């Protein structure tokens, strides 16, 4: 794959290495939004079928991306909504506990902490060994060891949002299944840029915001709910989620049955006539590229950066725990942080600082010139001898 920058409208003078902050809007999604706005001028252009067709398309595209049945996909407004939905359907027996990652993103942490408080359960926070030179191996080992027959639920990000550290989702999912724990994954920082297979990883609920690696609009999320949530209770009682919802002439013949599988968990007004077309355009393009090609492109793109960092003896995470699309750099003292900040601004480079990490996040819109400019900024900030 070559750079796909031509499919975006990024400022050509800015080196945007910050997809983990927010993904840029694709031109195709922008056009979909414009056409959706124009359609809103005349409501007669919106048929009863349109209340459902857009959602079906998005669910189908997402199902292809994460390897599930479209009926297991639910549309949500945010990850916190998805977490609340999932956790509201998980029971807790006396003596059971829940597990979350150290420095987990706040939405996940607060959601699980509230569940624990409600159920008088212990919240176990799992991190790496304090003396480990890099956290990947010990963090994965400690997490697996923490999952026992007394674990009710594990809620974690697919990769760590601060540094892109990879977790062995397949082994974690298998351990959860073995002990009977529910496995909830926040896929926001990897789904769309790294492999996500809910069947192989034995994920019970996958919750994703769409505005990062799915190139979707802010305020529109998407989720997968596995069979552990069949027959569960949704947060809302939306009329759109009932089996007779498409019969507009007989809606008051109240049908208490929900639509198939995870359809019951759709947010109210899930037909969003502006945001859904935007998300659908982006998902279709990601599936056309394929995640495997996106991963390969990001890996090849960042190779010169890794070679440079090694030449400066920067301690890097082991390859098996390193994401190709998102990674955090702990720079040694020989780098002047204030000088680096100034150089990044001068060179119009957009990155993030998360937990003391210089977080770099790339995607198919980036070019070798972006990486070269970052390397130049790092080198100009080196004050060591």
Spatial contact of 162 and 357, defined as CB atoms under 8 Å apart: yes
Torsions phi, psi of 139, nearest 5?
-65, -45
Q: Tens digit of pLDDT per residue, the chain (385 long)? A: 999 999 999 999 999 999 999 999 999 999 999 999 999 999 999 999 999 999 999 999 999 999 999 999 999 999 999 999 999 999 999 999 999 999 999 999 999 999 999 999 999 999 999 999 999 999 999 999 999 999 999 999 999 999 999 999 999 999 999 999 999 999 999 999 999 999 999 999 999 999 999 999 999 999 999 999 999 999 999 989 898 898 888 888 898 889 878 999 999 999 999 999 999 999 999 999 999 999 999 999 999 999 999 999 899 999 999 999 999 998 888 889 899 999 999 999 999 999 888 999 999 999 999 999 999 999 999 887 5
**Which residue ranges make up each domain of the chain?**
5-19+290-380, 32-288
Spatial contact of 197 and 57, defined as CB atoms under 8 Å apart: no
Q: How buried is 137 (Cβ within 10 angstroms: 0-12 exposed, 13-18 middle, 19+ buried)?
A: middle
CATH level 3 topology of 32-288:
3.40.640
Compute CA distances 308 → 250, 346, 364, 376, whole Å: 67, 21, 21, 10
Spatial contact of 327 and 360, defined as CB atoms under 8 Å apart: yes
- Six-digit token pair at 28? 């195709």
Spatial contact of 87 and 218, defined as CB atoms under 8 Å apart: no
Q: What number of other Cβ atoms are within 10 A of residue 113's Cβ? A: 15
Query: Looking at domain 5-19+290-380, does it have CATH number 1.10.3470.10?
Result: no
Q: Pick the closest to residue 263 from 236, 282, 283 (CA basis).
A: 236
β-strand 97-101 against 15-16: which pairing, if any?
unpaired
What is the rounded CA–CA span in Å between residue 234 and residue 375? 49
What is the rounded CA–CA span in Å between residue 248 and residue 231? 25
- Six-digit token pair at 330? 């702990």
pLDDT of residue 323: 97
């Amino acid at each position: 794959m070559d750079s796909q920058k031509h499919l975006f409208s990024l400022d050509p003078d800015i080196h945007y290495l910050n997809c983990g902050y927010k993904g840029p809007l694709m031109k195709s999604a922008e056009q979909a939004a414009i056409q959706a706005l124009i359609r809103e001028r005349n409501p007669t252009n919106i048929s009863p079928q349109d209340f459902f067709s857009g959602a079906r398309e998005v669910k189908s595209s997402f199902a292809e991306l994460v390897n599930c049945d479209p009926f297991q996909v639910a549309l949500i407004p945010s990850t916190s909504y998805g977490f609340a939905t999932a956790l509201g359907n998980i029971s807790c027996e006396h003596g059971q506990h829940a597990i979350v990652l150290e420095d987990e993103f706040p939405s996940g942490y607060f959601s699980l902490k509230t569940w624990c408080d409600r159920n008088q359960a212990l919240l176990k926070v799992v991190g790496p060994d304090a003396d480990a030179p890099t956290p990947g191996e010990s963090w994965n080992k400690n997490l697996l060891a923490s999952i026992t027959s007394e674990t009710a639920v594990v809620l974690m990000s697919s990769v760590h949002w601060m540094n892109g550290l990879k977790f062995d989702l397949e082994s974690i999912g298998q351990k959860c299944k073995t002990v009977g724990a529910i496995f909830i994954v926040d896929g926001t920082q990897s789904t769309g840029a790294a492999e996500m297979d809910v069947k192989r990883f034995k994920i019970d609920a996958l919750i994703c915001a769409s505005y990062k690696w799915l190139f979707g609009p802010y305020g529109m999320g998407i989720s997968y709910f596995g069979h552990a949530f069949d027959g569960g209770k949704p947060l809302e009682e939306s009329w759109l989620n009932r089996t007779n919802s498409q019969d507009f002439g007989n809606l008051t013949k109240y049908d208490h049955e929900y639509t198939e599988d995870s359809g019951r968990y759709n947010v109210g007004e899930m037909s969003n006539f502006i945001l859904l077309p935007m998300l659908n355009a982006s998902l279709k393009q990601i599936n056309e590229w394929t995640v495997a090609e996106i991963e390969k492109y990001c890996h090849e793109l960042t190779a010169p950066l890794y070679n440079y960092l090694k030449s400066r003896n920067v301690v890097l995470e082991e390859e098996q725990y390193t994401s190709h699309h998102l990674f955090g750099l702990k720079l040694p003292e020989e780098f002047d942080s204030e000088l680096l900040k100034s150089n990044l601004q001068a060179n119009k480079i957009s990155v993030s600082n998360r937990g003391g990490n210089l977080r770099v996040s790339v995607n198919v819109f980036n070019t070798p010139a972006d990486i070269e400019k970052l390397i130049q900024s790092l080198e100009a900030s080196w004050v060591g001898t």
